[in-house]
């Protein structure tokens, strides 16, 4: 039985994962790569480190598959989206460290563009907001402060998927320079309605259109590796997770709990108007021309707050400890709230000047209360986004599909169900980002015949139903909203 390999190039590491026709994971390999923080608020990656991790994980996985006589039908790519890579087509070498989606160096530039009256153009064209999260101001910075020569015919720009694809398909020796609509829609340079690069936005940001990748359907053959394996699917990590969670009907929604959390709701084939506090983004385009748009709520810090408890404060030794700690304090934080706005607040606030805040401390508060408050902050932030989506789309969600590392925490899943007052469902395979990329590639190569087969392969691991009353949930949430107000606008 042939498998499809997904290359998942995430924020802290690369995973290569093999999926067979039944949707079962047949093997995987993972490598972390270094993070660079040259100044406060700046986050960078070495694109060479990312490619090295891709080579290593693919090599290990394919070695084990070959040893078992398992053929590979296709490769799919998913990635950390807005992270900005520039390289020289003639040499294949990166021209600067990649500027990561978490990087905040262009906050002042975003403020200036907003004040200059360009927000309506950006909102109507891209569905995005002015925030340093997105690629355009990062690329503009590279072309000015970063010293990159925008006039060079060899200049190539891409999100991480484009960099991986280019290298997989030959690099400087004929590599394919392309991306898909889900990643293009995160650059702030792509028109999500006309589905092409916007000359007006490229002019606004000083970006030469010659450096941009070709935009092709998310499911379809992009090229092939040196040994002939087709590379046939690309999607940004959150859109890939939406696909991997089989959220094919308008109104269906998922939340991926990773470094940050990302709530996406399928809103169908028609692009909706911009909504305050939410992003409108492209979901995917299949080979048959069918498309999906999505509302997205980007929550910058969730799992990273647990890492902060471990690495920054030494409150825990392992992330798994948070569940036991949270249940040891009789289901109460004693009024403590943690707002993990370490890099500002994303949806629905979009405040790059918010900062992490702890309120409600008393002498009786200990590390268990802090651990529970961090878990609760994940559930509260998700509720912020889901309520905004329901109001904008007219679709009140009936369930939330959860995935990502922190979805393994049963206490968090129960807190989430209590806050949303709907069931939260966790699938058996929680690596839905990689699974979604594999499905997109496999659909293009006939491993799966239709999205209906993807739906049939999706299976439930656990379902969490609300235990708290609406009054209990709303009382806790009101305290969260007060805490958020105290975190906002703190930095100058």
DSSP for 348-375, written as a single string: TT-BTT---EEE---TT--HHHHHHHHH
Mean pLDDT of 416-434: 93
Which residues, at least 6 apart from 361, have a Cβ–Cβ distance to it below 8 Å? Answer: 336
Query: 3-59, pLDDT tens digit by residue?
Result: 999 999 998 899 999 999 988 999 999 999 999 999 988 999 999 999 999 999 999
**Is it the case that residue 163 has pLDDT exceeding 90?**
yes
Assess whether pLDDT exceeds 90 at residue 194.
yes
The pLDDT of residue 481 = 97
Classify residue 376 as exposed, middle or buried by CB count within 10 Å of its CB (0-12, 13-18, 19+).
buried
DSSP strand pairing (460-464 vs 214-215): unpaired
Query: What per-residue confidence (pLDDT) applies to 393?
Result: 81
Residue 447: both structure tokens together: 């491993």
- Both tokens of 249, joined, read 């009907």
Mean pLDDT value of segment 433-441: 95
What's the pLDDT band for 405 if we cut at 50, 70, 90?
A: confident
Query: CB–CB of 299/275 below 8 Å?
Result: no
Spatial distance between the Cα atoms of 406 and 397, rounded to a whole number of angstroms? 21
Question: What CA–CA distances, in Å, run from 105 to 13, 68, 247, 298, 452?
Answer: 23, 48, 35, 18, 43
What average pLDDT does the chain have? Answer: 94
């Amino acid at each position: 039985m042939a498998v499809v390999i997904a290359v998942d190039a995430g924020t802290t590491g690369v995973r290569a994962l093999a999926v067979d026709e039944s949707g079962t994971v047949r093997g995987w390999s993972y490598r972390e790569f270094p993070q660079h923080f040259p100044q406060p608020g700046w986050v960078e990656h070495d694109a060479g480190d990312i490619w090295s991790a891709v080579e290593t994980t693919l090599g290990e996985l394919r070695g084990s598959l070959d040893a078992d006589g398992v053929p590979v039908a296709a490769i799919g790519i998913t990635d950390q989206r807005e992270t900005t890579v520039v390289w020289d087509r003639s040499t294949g070498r990166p021209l600067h460290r990649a500027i990561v989606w978490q990087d905040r160096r262009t906050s002042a530039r975003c403020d200036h563009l907003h004040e200059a009256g360009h927000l309506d153009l950006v909102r109507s064209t891209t569905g995005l907001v002015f925030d340093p999260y997105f690629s355009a101001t990062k690329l503009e910075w590279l072309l000015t402060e970063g010293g990159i020569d925008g006039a060079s015919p060899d200049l190539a720009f891409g999100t991480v998927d484009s960099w991986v694809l280019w290298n997989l398909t030959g690099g400087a020796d004929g590599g394919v320079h392309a991306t898909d609509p889900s990643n293009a829609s995160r650059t702030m340079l792509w028109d999500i309605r006309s589905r092409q690069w916007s000359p007006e936005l490229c002019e606004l940001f000083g970006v030469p259109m010659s450096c941009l990748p070709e935009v092709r359907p998310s499911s379809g053959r992009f090229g092939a590796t040196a040994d002939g394996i087709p590379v046939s699917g690309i999607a940004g990590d959150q859109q890939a997770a939406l696909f991997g969670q089989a959220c094919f009907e308008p109104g269906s929604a998922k939340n991926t709990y990773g470094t940050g959390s990302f709530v996406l709701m399928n809103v169908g084939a028609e692009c909706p108007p911009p909504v305050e506090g939410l992003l409108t983004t492209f979901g995917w385009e299949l080979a048959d021309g069918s498309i999906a748009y999505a509302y997205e709520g980007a929550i910058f810090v969730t799992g990273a707050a647990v890492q902060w408890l471990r690495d920054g404060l030494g409150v825990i030794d392992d992330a798994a400890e948070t569940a036991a700690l949270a249940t040891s304090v009789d289901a109460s934080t004693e009024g403590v709230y943690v707002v993990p706005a370490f890099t500002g607040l994303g949806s629905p606030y979009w405040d790059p000047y918010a900062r992490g805040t702890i309120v409600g401390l008393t002498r009786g508060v200990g590390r268990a209360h802090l651990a529970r408050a961090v878990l609760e902050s994940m559930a509260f932030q998700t509720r912020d986004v889901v309520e905004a989506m329901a109001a904008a789309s007219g679709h009140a969600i009936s369930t939330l599909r959860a995935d990502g590392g922190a979805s393994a925490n049963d206490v968090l899943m129960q807190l989430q169900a209590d806050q949303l007052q709907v069931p939260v469902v966790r699938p058996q395979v929680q690596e839905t980002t990689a699974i979604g990329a594999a499905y997109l590639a496999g659909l293009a190569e006939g491993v799966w015949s239709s999205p209906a087969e993807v739906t049939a392969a999706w299976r439930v691991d656990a379902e969490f139903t609300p235990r708290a009353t609406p009054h209990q949930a709303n009382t806790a949430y009101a305290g969260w909203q007060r805490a958020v107000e105290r975190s906002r606008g703190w930095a100058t």
